[in-house]
Amino acid sequence: MTSSNVNFSDAVLAWFDHAGRKHLPWQQNVTPYRVWVSEIMLQQTQVSTALPYFQRFMASFPTLADLASASIDDVLHHWTGLGYYARGRNLHKAALLACERHDGQLPASLDELVALPGIGRSTAGAILSLGFGQRAVILDGNVKRVLARYHALAGDPAKAAVATQFWSLADALTPSQRCGDYTQAMMDLGATLCTRTKPACERCPVQDGCIAYAQGEPARYPEKQRKQPVPRREVTLAIHLHDDQAWMAQRPSSGIWGGLWSFPEWPSDTPLPTQAESLPEFVHVFSHFRLNIKPVIIQATSSLAVSEAAGRWVTLSDLPALGFPAPIYSLLQRLGARLEASS
Q: CB 187 → ligand SF4: shortest distance, Å?
A: 14
280 in helix, strand or coil? coil
Selected binder of ligand SF4 within 49, 207, 241, 272 (CB under 6 A): 207
Per rule CB under 6 A, is residue 16 in the interface with ligand SF4?
Answer: no
* 39 catalytically annotated: yes
Selected binder of ligand SF4 within 113, 130, 206, 314 (CB under 6 A): 206
CB atoms within 10 A of CB 75: 23
Query: For the chain, percent helix, then strand, then coil, each to nearest 5?
Result: 50, 10, 40
Stretch that binds ligand SF4, among 81-89, 107-115, 201-209, 326-334 (CB under 6 A): 201-209
Q: Identify which of 300, 299, 288, 291 has the alpha carbon closest to the alpha carbon of residue 326.
A: 291
DSSP states of 77-139 as a string?
HHHTTT--THHHHHHHHHHHHHHHHHTTS--SSHHHHHTSTT--HHHHHHIIIIIH-------
Q: CB 219 → ligand SF4: shortest distance, Å?
A: 8
Stretch that binds ligand SF4, among 14-22, 46-54, 128-136, 191-199 (CB under 6 A): 191-199
Per rule CB under 6 A, is residue 148 in the interface with ligand SF4?
Answer: no
Selected binder of ligand SF4 within 36, 53, 213, 247 (CB under 6 A): 213
Per rule CB under 6 A, is residue 150 in the interface with ligand SF4?
Answer: yes
Cis peptide before 222 (omega within 30 of 0): yes
Catalytic member of 39, 112, 202, 265: 39
Vertex 339 angle, CA 335 and 342, to 5°: 135
**Contacting positions for ligand SF4 (CB under 6 A):** 146, 149-150, 193-194, 199, 201, 204, 206-207, 210, 212-213, 218
